[in-house]
Structure 1
Amino acid sequence: MKRLSLAAVSLIALMAAPALAQQTPTISENSVTAHIGFLAGEELQGRASATRDEAIAAAYVAAQFRLSGLTPVPGMDGYVQRAPVVKTTPSGAATLTLGGVTLNQGADFAIMRGGLNAASGAVTVAPSADPAALPAGSETLMVAPAEGPAVRALFGAAMRSGAKLVLLRRTEMLAQATSDGGSRDPVIRLADAAPSTGPVILVLSPEAYDRVAAAGGSIAYDPGASQVEQGFTSNAIGWLQGTDPTAGVLMISAHLDHIGLRSDGVVMHGANDDASGTVAVIELAEALAAMGPHERSILFVAYGSEEAGLLGSRYFVEHPPIPLEDIAANLEIEMIGDQDPQLPEGVMMMTGFTRSNFGAALKERGALVGPDPYPEQNFFERSDNYALALKGIVAHTVSGWATIPTYHTADDTIANLDIPFMTNAIQSLVAPLAAMADGGFTPEWSEGGRPAAR
């Protein structure tokens, strides 16, 4: 048998490359496990927003983008967009005063949100924990939630109630979420944004809650002194150039930060939330680059500081590396490390599914996605997709289990991930997203589906 020369072999390989490039790459469990092992491993200590650990995670994602053949966005000098932030650390010695009685942070209550602002006012006790029945316009609103994940919907309703101070009776879930008392957790905002004026939300021990509810009258919250410092949060961004600059850009994103190391020494690893989505972005970048070139350019983004208030995505839309009007659609991927038992086997939920034809088009092309079974919890507005949706871009989030019991607990670890489900979920997105990048289909809002700009 005659041996082919090296030049002949190279020529045959080049001739075969276009056909091979169009085959759908296989997402391997080994690769998924390797990426999640680093991002949610002990070394990164939970990737807390606007910390060195978050910056390392962004550098890792950027390195994976480069390995996959992505380039910096034209006009950027690298793969990381840094957003200046202001970090304010509370004193840990806040107080609540009711008449002549003083309640102390740590012993009597923990800070859930907004603990830097003083607040006071007459106490109103909610008649039930039904989010739809919360009194509106109260100065201080007291609510006794039921145990379980329904507290999230109640939390959102309390945020929108107009109260300046919200006092929640501690449940087991709230106890886990605030076990360190919020005593030294920094409050982070974008440097060019005004300080938050939203409500102060505190979690009271059952004894303290019952005492305040029985006493009634007016109550005052004093945050004590605080420490202010400058910092930055990191968005990792990669670019896959398309062949038609007029075809628009497909954007695929996730958030790379989590809660990090709590002041009580517990690491909040955030394996599902949202190392899983970040791994999906890395894997999709590699797969779609291997299948290219595509007609549309594809933008891959891993945001920082989502947990601090969707800061990375907010900075992105205010300082976009490309014109926002060029983005045809955005798919955000969050918490795909396990599946909701209410969904069909293997299927992810898409928030705001009926707001546009994007989800239906992905499903028709083979993506394992379906409607959100929890529309009352407004998940469409609670992830990074929303910043883009407010700018008119068709943008949705897919998730495996949005109300997973490990959400924002120390149990959100690699050991509690369903790697086969996660791998299959990512695999199901490859061909549909490639078709979106190659074809002429552009997602559109349904009538009344586009959120009003704020």
Structure 2
Amino acid sequence: MKRVVRGGVAACVLAMALPMTAQQAAWTVKPEWVKAHEEFLASDVMAGRGSATRDEQIAATYVASEFEGYGLQHAPGMSSYLQMATLISPRLDGHATLSAGSVSVSEGKDFDLLVYGGSDLSGKLVRVPITELKTTKFERGSIVLVTGVAGDPGKGFGAYTAARRAGAAAVLLQGEGVEGLYGVLGSQTKVGMHLEGVKPERAQAAALALKSAALDGVAAGTVVTLSAKEMAPAKMETFNAIGYLPGSDPKAGTILLTAHLDHLGTGKPVNGDAIYNGANDDAAGTTAVMEFAHALAAGPKLRRSVLFVCYGSEEMGEYGSLYFGAHSPVPLKDLVANIEFEMIGNQDPKTPKGTLLFTGYDRSNLGLTLKEHGALVGPDPYPEQHFFERSDNYQLALKGVVAHTAAGWGTVPTYHQPNDDIAHLDLPFMTAAIQSFVEPIRWLATSDFVPKWNPGGDPSKEK
């Protein structure tokens, strides 16, 4: 078995976080390989790998070169390891207003515009404490003001996701610390962009973080209107890095292993640091996908083919995976399963020691089966935050592919902050997590096991 060793890598070898079984020891993921990927992707010189930027393209080119070095082939029908997509992005003037009767509040002073769906909107105001959001019913098109949003930013975005799914046209988030949500987005509004030549299916719900109490006196049922001025749209290019390992049986299907290679780029300085390095989010997952390619390409030929994809522009709205889903080099019906790797660089305190959480764990039999074969993975302890729907796996899950995300920590303290850098990674944990998946993935690619959605788990059949 030939192993590729990179030159110029620091000689120190970090201790593994967990002991390996004899099965897992068939291939050793070396910590210096993991560290080398992170030192490049999360370096300051990469300026945070902003979505659809030159830095993202450089990151994609790096991943592509690693795929080629491991001996992967171009995916069927492709003549390159890179897949490019063009995005059309609306631009706003930064002076949106929110009106309710005689009350009018302004962007910047009274609220931050977190998400803009692509059009102005109006709806009746509904007030809901975050603790009652699951049980409160409201009309589709309502403007839902969620109170009591505080602390973990994941709770705020989870509340937005829940209200959006329930039919809210806009979600107003209010509570102590809600001002930090805008910084988590890189201090820029997520706009309703779309792939060139593809009309957006529908406008997404708007999201606002209320910084003032100006709406406190507005009665429930009052019509609230959000207005924003659009400027000329911008055209941008985003890149997916794709490598292909053909199997021995063309009819056995293809395993899809994915991560996203972009992050927030540069943004509002925190303690003088304006580079959002994204070492955990998601250079860590990108590193995992590269090391799976490294391991599987160096081993015996697999029965099933394996497609390795690192997406661009996840942070702007999962556009790399959206494009891939519409232009997959392998028919989606031939994809046996998709495992996305997201923020695996730290251990979540709510999961058993040494394990990753697996989003949508109870939706299918994939997570449990991988666990039975040695993968250090378990259920997601944060179902209310809808992590299953907040990563690239969801684009394919909506098309019926059994697709989940393996993650280290739901919302790590460094999430979308400049200190998401290599110094804040738990490299031994990350290395052990990657190691634990190598042989279960190899088993999946050599077996005839076909993962299935559990009853009621297939999101493509949800209304």
Whether these two folds match at TM > 0.5 is: yes
Letter matched to residue 157 of structure 1: A
Deviates more, 1:250-259 or 1:377-386: 377-386
Would you say the 8 A contact 1:116–1:223 is kept in 2? Answer: no
Deviation of the 1:452 alpha carbon: 2.8
- The structure with the greater share of residues assigned to helix is 1
Q: 2:380 maps to which residue?
A: 372
Please provide the CA RMSD for this pair.
2.6
Deviation of the 1:35 alpha carbon: 0.6
Q: 1:166 maps to which residue?
A: 171
Q: Secondary structure at the match of 1:236?
A: strand
Are residue 282 (structure 1) and residue 287 (structure 2) matched? no
Q: Between the two proteins, what is the percent identity of the paired residues?
A: 45
Would you say the 8 A contact 1:118–1:222 is kept in 2? Answer: yes
Write the distance in 1 (CA, Å) between the matches of 2:188 and 2:390. Answer: 25
Letter matched to residue 227 of structure 1: A
Q: 1:260 maps to which residue?
A: 265
Q: 2:144 maps to which residue?
A: 141
Deviation of the 1:118 alpha carbon: 1.3
Are residue 219 (structure 1) and residue 234 (structure 2) matched? no
Q: 2:18 maps to which residue?
A: none
Where structure 1 has 5 or more consecutive residues not aligned to the other structure, the ranges are 1-12, 14-21
Would you say the 8 A contact 2:127–2:220 is kept in 1? Answer: no
Change in CA separation of 1:387 and 1:453 when aligned onto 2, cut-off 3 Å: farther
Are residue 402 (structure 1) and residue 413 (structure 2) matched? no
Letter matched to residue 312 of structure 1: G
Matches within 5 A, 1:222-261: 222-261=227-266
Would you say the 8 A contact 1:331–1:396 is kept in 2? Answer: yes
Cα deviation digits, residues 350-388 of structure 1 (max 9, x gap) = 112232222222112211111222233332222211222
Write the distance in 2 (CA, Å) between the matches of 1:237 and 1:437. Answer: 18
Deviation of the 1:300 alpha carbon: 0.3
Change in CA separation of 1:176 and 1:125 when aligned onto 2, cut-off 3 Å: closer
Would you say the 8 A contact 2:125–2:220 is kept in 1? Answer: no
Q: 2:108 maps to which residue?
A: 106
Would you say the 8 A contact 1:91–1:225 is kept in 2? Answer: yes
Would you say the 8 A contact 2:184–2:417 is kept in 1? Answer: no
Change in CA separation of 1:31 and 1:305 when aligned onto 2, cut-off 3 Å: same
Would you say the 8 A contact 2:115–2:191 is kept in 1? Answer: no
Letter matched to residue 209 of structure 2: V
Matches within 5 A, 1:46-445: 46-114=48-116, 116-127=118-129, 129-137=131-139, 139-149=142-152, 150-172=155-177, 174-178=179-183, 182=187, 187-195=192-200, 196-210=202-216, 213=218, 217-262=222-267, 266-445=274-453
Deviation of the 1:58 alpha carbon: 0.8
Cα deviation digits, residues 265-305 of structure 1 (max 9, x gap) = 83322221111100000111101111132121111000111
Letter matched to residue 221 of structure 1: L
Change in CA separation of 1:341 and 1:176 when aligned onto 2, cut-off 3 Å: same
Would you say the 8 A contact 1:129–1:143 is kept in 2? Answer: no
Deviation of the 1:70 alpha carbon: 0.6
Change in CA separation of 1:422 and 1:194 when aligned onto 2, cut-off 3 Å: same
Write the distance in 2 (CA, Å) between the matches of 1:449 and 1:135. Answer: 22
Deviates more, 1:109-118 or 1:317-326: 109-118
Q: Secondary structure at the match of 2:459?
A: coil
Change in CA separation of 1:350 and 1:183 when aligned onto 2, cut-off 3 Å: closer
Letter matched to residue 412 of structure 2: I
Write the distance in 1 (CA, Å) between the matches of 2:186 and 2:37. Answer: 32
Deviation of the 1:257 alpha carbon: 1.3
Write the distance in 2 (CA, Å) between the matches of 1:341 and 1:56. Answer: 34
Q: Secondary structure at the match of 2:194?
A: strand
Q: Secondary structure at the match of 1:276?
A: helix
Where structure 2 has 5 or more consecutive residues not aligned to the other structure, the ranges are 3-23
Cα deviation digits, residues 96-142 of structure 1 (max 9, x gap) = 23445542221221111116421233433225543214451263222
Q: Secondary structure at the match of 1:154?
A: helix
Deviation of the 1:156 alpha carbon: 1.5
Write the distance in 2 (CA, Å) between the matches of 1:411 and 1:209. Answer: 34
Deviation of the 1:175 alpha carbon: 2.0
Would you say the 8 A contact 1:250–1:437 is kept in 2? Answer: yes
Change in CA separation of 1:28 and 1:173 when aligned onto 2, cut-off 3 Å: farther
Change in CA separation of 1:179 and 1:252 when aligned onto 2, cut-off 3 Å: closer
Write the distance in 2 (CA, Å) between the matches of 1:176 and 1:141. Answer: 17
Write the distance in 2 (CA, Å) between the matches of 1:449 and 1:97. Answer: 40
Q: Which runs of 4+ in 1 moved over 6 A?
A: none
Cα deviation digits, residues 416-442 of structure 1 (max 9, x gap) = 111110000001111111122223323
Would you say the 8 A contact 1:129–1:154 is kept in 2? Answer: no
TM-score normalized with structure 2 length? 0.86
Would you say the 8 A contact 2:72–2:297 is kept in 1? Answer: yes
